[in-house]
Amino acid sequence: MPELLTLSRAARLADVTRAELQRRIRQGDIQTFEGQVAIRDLLRVYPTVRLDRDKGFERVESIKAAAVPRDQQADAVLPSPHVLMSRLRTLAEVLVQKVSALDAAEELLDALTLRLAAIADTVPQTGAVQAAVSEALSWLAAERQALAEHPQPDNRAELFAKDTFLRIMAASIKIIPSGHEFFVEGTETILDASVRAGLKLAYGCSSGNCGTCKARVVSGEVWKTADHDYVLSEREKQMGYILTCSNTAVTDLVLEASEALSVADLPLQEIRAGVRKVEPLSDDLLLLHVQTPRTQTLRFMAGQRARLTLENGVSGEVPIASCPCNGRNLQFYLRRRSGHALAESAFTDLAAHQMITVAGPMGEFVLHEGSPEPAVFIALDDGIAPIKSILEHAVSIDTIESFHLYWASSETDGHHLAKWCRAMTESLDNFRYTQFSETPPDRSAAAKVLDALGADYPDPGGMRFYLAGPAPELELLTEGLVALGVDREVIAREIAD
């Protein structure tokens, strides 16, 4: 087992979220060495290491899994026989090294015992030196006997056992130059695992035809899971290039790959998709489930919008309410109101199995992934849709220290995502939810939220804010936050209809 661990693997071994580990690093409790954590520091801060996974960690995993359909989760169970055998072979090499080191330590103890005995024979039979040597020999013999009869695994041994199991079940991948990390579970491809983790590696068809997902293996071993039509040159093969859509990780990898880091890096896509379900939530609100073809997953960042065009030609821009970790299965909330032709047509003309055109992504209301400070999300009325997407993505990538969602709704159907909000609160120790209804006529929703926020956070200067709702209310919120000492640069806004 290496003396240094990546942050993702260290978090898994300690049964904490990556965000919690980063918080301890920022506080100075744990030192990092080129982005890695020393085992001794991890055990010092988290001395109790168990082989069973922490229930809180499992709850976080359940939220991430809920954003991915069961047919995709099925691949993330056990590695394929080839991958499993390769990982066991790698593990055997590590165990051989450990056994060799243990044998060497035993030989060293034998040599030490003999040398102490020789010293005892050469020094006078009385005196302090003879007594000290005799005492050392007795202590050494007793300790070796106790260890042989009742071996007690220490925390390092427990950590080694747990790390060994995790390395059999999953491989860790580090992307350069971004430094992002994720795990490949079961038999899933590197590309599928990156999407599930909320990362945005370059790809096109995701079926081995276009070559857009080409990446270079810097270190580690991969296994081709499917043949592909795209032809890699001999030069590219020698340099270690692979298609991430057609390979899985056998061992931990360092991968050089192109990655979208801003909205400008994402191409505008147009996809013919199918309507999976039209789910009425009230007389005026419906949830639209759209599924893209397997070869055309929509690449977008959480919080962005897409233009939907129905078969009758009616179209409109709508926030994507689902997580980018599942770009094939998209969710959109449509509210029927005056002048909203798309929602009206969806209520009257749209049904499951019809075709729909999805164009996007659009918009710059996205998560600041490089900002680990606590985040506050304020949704007014239907502004909850892009906020939901960002929150699910934030949980998926696991880098933000804490979350607080304020949601004020004056709609007749109330808080249609209240159950989802409660589930987040129950599953995440670092998530809070505050709900507002029935705003008095003389008090705006923005004013009510600002009052509550000021009481919760007297000094909100070190936080990042995401606001979504009607334009007038967003202006009031923004000015109110600035008055509380918040820098305008840490306030992201999305105007919702």
Q: pLDDT tens digits for 197-213?
A: 888 898 888 889 999 99
What are the Cα distances from residue 441, in Å, to 410, 437, 438, 451? 11, 12, 9, 16
What are the Cα distances from residue 339, in Å, to 256, 279, 497? 48, 21, 11
**Residue 74 confidence (pLDDT):** 46
Q: Given a cut of 60, is residue 158 above it in pLDDT?
A: yes
Per-residue pLDDT, averaged over 75-90, amounts to 66
Claim to verify: residue 282 and residue 245 sit in the same structural domain: no
- Highest mean pLDDT range out of 83-87, 91-95, 183-187, 255-259? 255-259
- Quick check: 241 and 282 in contact, CB under 8 A? no
- Looking up residue 308, the CATH number of its domain turns out to be 2.40.30.10
> Which residues, in sequence order, are CB contacts of 482 under 8 Å at separation 6+?
488, 491
Claim to verify: residue 380 and residue 358 sit in the same structural domain: no
**Residue 163 confidence (pLDDT):** 67
117: in domain: no
Claim to verify: residue 20 and residue 54 sit in the same structural domain: yes
Claim to verify: residue 457 and residue 478 sit in the same structural domain: yes
Minimum mean pLDDT range among 82-96, 153-167, 380-394: 153-167
Q: Given a cut of 70, is residue 157 above it in pLDDT?
A: no
**Residue 220 confidence (pLDDT):** 92
Strands 464-469 and 491-495 turn out to be parallel
pLDDT band of residue 460 (cuts 50, 70, 90) is: very high
pLDDT band of residue 293 (cuts 50, 70, 90) is: very high
Q: How far, in Å, CA of 138 to CA of 118, rounded?
A: 14
**The one-letter amino acid at 128:** A
Minimum mean pLDDT range among 277-286, 301-310, 390-399: 390-399
Q: How far, in Å, CA of 195 to CA of 324, rounded?
A: 7
Q: Which of 369, 384, 482, 361 is nearest to 433 (CA)?
A: 384
Task: Examine the fold and report which residue of 19, 35, 67 is the final residue of a domain before the chain moves on.
Answer: 67
**Residue 280 confidence (pLDDT):** 94
Minimum mean pLDDT range among 38-52, 168-182, 268-282, 322-336: 38-52
**Residue 438 confidence (pLDDT):** 64
Comparison of pLDDT for 365 and 45, the residue scoring more: 365
- Looking up residue 385, the CATH number of its domain turns out to be 3.40.50.80
* DSSP 8-state secondary structure symbol assigned to residue 380: E
Mean pLDDT of the chain: 84
**The one-letter amino acid at 109:** L
- Quick check: 221 and 251 in contact, CB under 8 A? yes
Claim to verify: residue 309 and residue 386 sit in the same structural domain: no
**Residue 54 confidence (pLDDT):** 45
**Residue 353 confidence (pLDDT):** 93
Q: Given a cut of 80, is residue 323 above it in pLDDT?
A: yes
Q: Specify the number of domains making up the chain.
A: 4
% of the chain beyond a pLDDT of 90: 45
**Residue 62 confidence (pLDDT):** 55
Comparison of pLDDT for 126 and 196, the residue scoring more: 196
423: in domain: yes
Q: Given a cut of 70, is residue 432 above it in pLDDT?
A: yes
Cis peptide before 361 (omega within 30 of 0): yes
The whole-angstrom distance between residue 288's C-alpha and the CA centroid of its chain comes to 26
Q: How far, in Å, CA of 355 to CA of 12, rounded?
A: 42
Per-residue pLDDT, averaged over 180-192, amounts to 87
Task: Examine the fold and report which residue of 223, 256, 289 is the final residue of a domain before the chain moves on.
Answer: 256
User: CA Rg, the chain, in Å?
Assistant: 28
- Quick check: 318 and 279 in contact, CB under 8 A? no
For helices 128-149 and 81-122, angle between their N-to-C axes, nearest 10 degrees: 150
HSE of 475 in the Cβ direction (CA atoms, 13 Å)? Answer: 2
456: in domain: yes
Task: Examine the fold and report which residue of 308, 327, 362 is the final residue of a domain before the chain moves on.
Answer: 362
138: in domain: no
Q: Given a cut of 60, is residue 253 above it in pLDDT?
A: yes
| Domain carrying residue 55 | 4-67
Per-residue pLDDT, averaged over 84-102, amounts to 69
Claim to verify: residue 389 and residue 469 sit in the same structural domain: yes
**Residue 68 confidence (pLDDT):** 54
pLDDT band of residue 496 (cuts 50, 70, 90) is: confident
